[in-house]
């Protein structure tokens, strides 16, 4: 994973600090297992006012850090499916109950159940089945990444 210049020298900028935290988080979890991060720094795109340009900036920063490409088209945060790329879910308001499951070799199963709250970030690895149940007024920003 290329951590990029902004991840190495964040200079106090909240966006860069948030990306640095994501870089370290993903260096542990990417292609391995799901995880939950409660970042110390919020990216400006995650504020109460949804700004599509800031969301795109955040997604582009994550893409640069990981070396993965952004996949167009999000998914409905309520329902179920199988991650067709690496999913990063930034919970920006309210909460969402997530259930993740994967079948490992030998018929074993690994699972995670988590109530993602505002400010937390969930990583869902490729091919993991997911089910989500957002609470009323729940808001999230979902970034899907695929090999470049």
The size of the chain, in residues, is 148
Residue 78 domain boundaries: 4-147
Question: Which pLDDT score, from 0 to 100, does residue 13 have?
Answer: 87
Write the CATH number for 81. 2.60.120
User: Does the structure show a pLDDT above 80 at 21?
Assistant: yes
**Count of the separate structural domains present in the chain:** 1
Q: Give the span between the Cα atoms of 65 and 76, in whole angstroms.
A: 25
| Buried/exposed 17-44: b ≥16 CB within 10 Å, e otherwise | bbbbbbbebbeebbeeebbbbebebebe
Q: What is the pLDDT of residues 118-133, one digit of tens each?
A: 999 999 999 899 999 9
Q: What is the pLDDT of residues 63-95, one digit of tens each?
A: 998 899 988 655 556 788 888 889 999 898 899
Q: Give the span between the Cα atoms of 53 and 30, in whole angstroms.
A: 26
């Amino acid at each position: 994973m290329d951590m990029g210049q902004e991840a190495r020298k964040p200079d106090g900028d909240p966006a860069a600090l948030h990306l640095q935290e994501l870089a370290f988080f993903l260096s542990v979890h990417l292609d391995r297992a799901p995880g939950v991060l409660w970042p110390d720094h919020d990216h400006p795109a995650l504020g109460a006012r949804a700004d599509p340009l800031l969301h795109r900036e955040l997604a582009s920063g994550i893409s640069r850090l990981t070396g993965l490409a952004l996949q167009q088209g999000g998914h409905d945060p309520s329902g179920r499916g199988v991650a067709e790329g690496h999913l990063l879910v930034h919970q920006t308001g309210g909460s969402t109950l997530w259930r993740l499951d994967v079948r490992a070799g030998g018929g074993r199963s690994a699972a995670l159940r988590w109530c993602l709250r505002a400010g937390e970030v969930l990583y869902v690895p490729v091919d993991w089945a997911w089910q989500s149940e957002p609470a009323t007024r729940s808001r999230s920003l979902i970034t899907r990444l695929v090999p470049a």
